[in-house]
Chains A and B, each alone.
Chain A
């Protein structure tokens, strides 16, 4: 019974995470994107906390805390600041339109479930479902990264991807080093954010101006 409940709740959170990822895909305004990401982080935090509860693995609360505080509050805030400072225009130029992106997202989710369903069931169903969702979140995060043109939104994509990882890690019952990993990742993300801030990287992710190409891709004469 309890197992059943546990299953449903974690299922709920994981599914919610995927849903939020779709919302990320859908956004076309920078601030909105950041807010949605904050939501993403919060959902993750809850799901991790729930895992900590049902697996009674207290150290997972740390991870949940990091997720909530760092990704839910600090980083979105920092990014807000950056967007203001660097006058990144608020409109997100996407490579392909929202619609196709959403379709691609659907396809990816389908793909990940198909792949995961091949996993024999004796790896316990909870893990199986969670992994399916985690994989979708990861893929959707990558999709965000490759379909958005400017740095901030790509960072957001990367972070959502990484949320997927944490989801997977927590779903893996009794996996060691989860906390360390989440910490390491937080540092990584901090690096990226700082990098954006320091190097004034606006659209460097995807510069289209040829002169910049010549300057930075070195190998031309």
Chain B
């Protein structure tokens, strides 16, 4: 019976790996794009099946529990929709000659490799393995950010690479420290790196080592989450890479890194004498929200703007988890899911917009609702959602975050609200120009795949008014785990 689950896990990891290898060698755009799509589909189905199959016993290296299955299902889903979008996006890039078939092959291979890395990181039951997987994912994205080989792209990729490497190093040091903390209790060997074992016995670990470890891990993985002041790579990577990658970065990779931070937060929370990780996360989160809010005002590049909005929302999520408590944790989870869906939908829209207008400069894009109603209104809807307006999902999560914060920490709620409001103003200031007013630029119709973005928005919309009870119970359970 459990066998099925094993197969499913194998599929979630194996399919991307194999297809990466295959795509690396296969020529021809149509075929590879379809294959890419297919692989993503299978992966998604497999991960979805994990949700229904009985859980296998946690192994030395892999395991499934309530927490990571949320992430795995979410990320495989977004990966799938993104691959749909990427198919039509890449076609256009090929026509305009921005990418050559060779790079295309490379692109698809990397795409699947990235999926493999992320899925592995999520399924890993071993802090070392998780580290390796996240680094793999980071490096692949580095290569994809640089794929256009323009000076800006290389610059962005290089910046990402260097900062990422430092992050890697810090994270590794943290990992070693955790092992050191675990070794005296658990004993030498792999066991001292296995989540399930650690969680069971962390209470007796040396608190000082754990604290030190968490500092390094927070900075190391926090670099990938894009929390200020470690965010520097994020906006440029989003702006200069191919848009599908921007979508994946915002929608998935940030979550994966956050997942790692959460894991270690759990670890610390389970040790009575270790310092409470909450405040650190709250401070960094709050800082990111306010900082990103102000940064939004001077943005002139549309993709960079939404990248900063990702920083803001990651800040909100980190803040919520830092605050803790069932309500805030629930809100944090919800916010993370909603943000992934919305932000990737926005990047889908933006991708088509930049393609049809031939520019990423906000100033050169006007009156989209007039020239391209579907794209324009899609963008409006997306911004409305990301700004936390009802009846879309983020409103609910922000409602919970803000109100529960104010009831518990009134003084923290004020800056939080201020940051949200500042970001709100900036987003709509820009939207006014983008979506409305006298249109500029090309008005020719665009070959775009609207399904992914509208599917995402539809999901977000539904979640804003109705959350299925099953999902709620599940989230509440996880929120309970997160303490």
Cβ contacts under 8 Å, B139 to chain A: 188, 191
Chief secondary structure at chain A's binding surface: helix
- Going nearest first, the 10 A-B pairs with the smallest beta carbon separation are A174-B188, A216-B155, A118-B208, A119-B208, A177-B128, A168-B176, A176-B190, A218-B152, A219-B301, A172-B180
Min CB gap A154→B, angstroms: 8
In the complex the two chains form, is A172's CB within 8 Å of B183's CB?
yes
In the complex the two chains form, is B206's CB within 8 Å of A218's CB?
no
Min CB gap B440→A, angstroms: 15
Question: Per-residue CB proximity of A176-194 to B under 8 Å, as 1/0?
Answer: 1100110010001001100
In the complex the two chains form, is A168's CB within 8 Å of B173's CB?
yes
How many residues in A have their beta carbons less than 8 Å from beta carbons of B?
A: 46
In the complex the two chains form, is B300's CB within 8 Å of A131's CB?
no
- Which stretch, A40-48, A71-79, A89-97, A198-206, touches the partner chain B? A198-206
The answer to the question of B161 belonging to the interface, with a C-beta cut-off of 8 Å to chain A, is: yes
The answer to the question of A156 belonging to the interface, with a C-beta cut-off of 8 Å to chain B, is: no
- For the complex, give the distance between the alpha carbons of A110 and B300 in Å: 45
Cβ contacts under 8 Å, A88 to chain B: none
List, sorted by A's number, 14 A–B pairs whose CB atoms are closer than 8 Å.
A120-B206, A123-B184, A124-B184, A142-B166, A165-B173, A169-B176, A172-B180, A174-B183, A188-B168, A199-B158, A205-B162, A216-B152, A218-B239, A219-B239
- For the complex, give the distance between the alpha carbons of A188 and B138 in Å: 12
Give the residue of B135, B173, B208, B239 whose beta carbon is less than 8 angstroms from that of A120: B208
The answer to the question of B330 belonging to the interface, with a C-beta cut-off of 8 Å to chain A, is: no
Most buried by B among A169, A191, A216, A217: A216
In the complex the two chains form, is A131's CB within 8 Å of B177's CB?
yes
> What 13 additional pairs, Cβ within 8 angstroms, besides A120-B208, A172-B179, A173-B183?
A115-B212, A119-B206, A119-B209, A162-B169, A165-B172, A168-B177, A173-B188, A175-B193, A180-B132, A181-B172, A184-B132, A217-B236, A219-B299
The answer to the question of A85 belonging to the interface, with a C-beta cut-off of 8 Å to chain B, is: no
Min CB gap B15→A, angstroms: 24
Min CB gap A58→B, angstroms: 15
The answer to the question of A158 belonging to the interface, with a C-beta cut-off of 8 Å to chain B, is: yes
The answer to the question of B469 belonging to the interface, with a C-beta cut-off of 8 Å to chain A, is: no
Cβ contacts under 8 Å, A138 to chain B: 169, 173
Min CB gap A112→B, angstroms: 10
Question: Per-residue CB proximity of B131-162 to A under 8 Å, as 1/0?
Answer: 01001000100000000000110111010011
Interface residues of B in 2-25 (CB under 8 A from A): none
Closest B residue, CB atoms, query A170: B176
Cβ contacts under 8 Å, B135 to chain A: 184
The answer to the question of B240 belonging to the interface, with a C-beta cut-off of 8 Å to chain A, is: yes
The answer to the question of A4 belonging to the interface, with a C-beta cut-off of 8 Å to chain B, is: no
Give the residue of B165, B183, B208 whose beta carbon is less than 8 angstroms from that of A158: B165
The answer to the question of B361 belonging to the interface, with a C-beta cut-off of 8 Å to chain A, is: yes
- For the complex, give the distance between the alpha carbons of A217 and B159 in Å: 11
- For the complex, give the distance between the alpha carbons of A181 and B193 in Å: 14
- For the complex, give the distance between the alpha carbons of A177 and B212 in Å: 21
In the complex the two chains form, is B206's CB within 8 Å of A123's CB?
yes
The answer to the question of B31 belonging to the interface, with a C-beta cut-off of 8 Å to chain A, is: no
Cβ contacts under 8 Å, B154 to chain A: 199
In the complex the two chains form, is B180's CB within 8 Å of A131's CB?
yes
- For the complex, give the distance between the alpha carbons of A188 and B212 in Å: 25
The answer to the question of B363 belonging to the interface, with a C-beta cut-off of 8 Å to chain A, is: yes
Closest A residue, CB atoms, query B301: A219
Min CB gap B2→A, angstroms: 26
In the complex the two chains form, is B165's CB within 8 Å of A188's CB?
yes
In the complex the two chains form, is B132's CB within 8 Å of A161's CB?
no
The verdict on A176 contacting B189 (CB below 8 Å), with A120-B206, A216-B151 known, is yes
The answer to the question of B181 belonging to the interface, with a C-beta cut-off of 8 Å to chain A, is: yes
Chief secondary structure at chain B's binding surface: helix
Closest B residue, CB atoms, query A216: B155
Interface residues of A in 124-177 (CB under 8 A from B): 124, 127, 131, 134-135, 138, 142, 145, 158, 161-162, 164-165, 168-169, 172-177
The verdict on A215 contacting B152 (CB below 8 Å), with A120-B206, A172-B180, A176-B189 known, is yes
Cβ contacts under 8 Å, A216 to chain B: 151-152, 155
Cβ contacts under 8 Å, A162 to chain B: 169
Min CB gap B454→A, angstroms: 29
Closest B residue, CB atoms, query A118: B208
Min CB gap A139→B, angstroms: 10
The answer to the question of B304 belonging to the interface, with a C-beta cut-off of 8 Å to chain A, is: yes
Min CB gap B424→A, angstroms: 21
Min CB gap B272→A, angstroms: 15
Closest A residue, CB atoms, query B181: A123
Closest B residue, CB atoms, query A115: B212
In the complex the two chains form, is A204's CB within 8 Å of B361's CB?
no
Min CB gap B134→A, angstroms: 12
Closest A residue, CB atoms, query B187: A174
Interface residues of B in 225-261 (CB under 8 A from A): 235-236, 239-240
The verdict on A191 contacting B173 (CB below 8 Å), with A119-B206, A215-B151 known, is no
In the complex the two chains form, is A176's CB within 8 Å of B158's CB?
no
Interface residues of B in 170-213 (CB under 8 A from A): 172-173, 176-177, 179-181, 183-184, 188-190, 192-193, 206, 208-209, 212
- For the complex, give the distance between the alpha carbons of A169 and B193 in Å: 13
Cβ contacts under 8 Å, A177 to chain B: 128, 132
Cβ contacts under 8 Å, B132 to chain A: 177, 180-181, 184
Cβ contacts under 8 Å, B301 to chain A: 218-219
Give the residue of B161, B162, B173, B304 whose beta carbon is less than 8 angstroms from that of A219: B304
- For the complex, give the distance between the alpha carbons of A221 and B364 in Å: 11
The verdict on A176 contacting B181 (CB below 8 Å), with A188-B168, A221-B361 known, is no
- For the complex, give the distance between the alpha carbons of A204 and B135 in Å: 24
- For the complex, give the distance between the alpha carbons of A164 and B165 in Å: 14
- For the complex, give the distance between the alpha carbons of A127 and B299 in Å: 49
Give the residue of B168, B179, B208, B239 whose beta carbon is less than 8 angstroms from that of A175: B179
Closest A residue, CB atoms, query B168: A188
The answer to the question of A87 belonging to the interface, with a C-beta cut-off of 8 Å to chain B, is: no
Cβ contacts under 8 Å, B208 to chain A: 115, 118-120
- For the complex, give the distance between the alpha carbons of A215 and B151 in Å: 8
- For the complex, give the distance between the alpha carbons of A142 and B172 in Å: 15
Cβ contacts under 8 Å, B169 to chain A: 138, 158, 161-162, 165
The answer to the question of A209 belonging to the interface, with a C-beta cut-off of 8 Å to chain B, is: no
Closest B residue, CB atoms, query A121: B206
Min CB gap B92→A, angstroms: 21
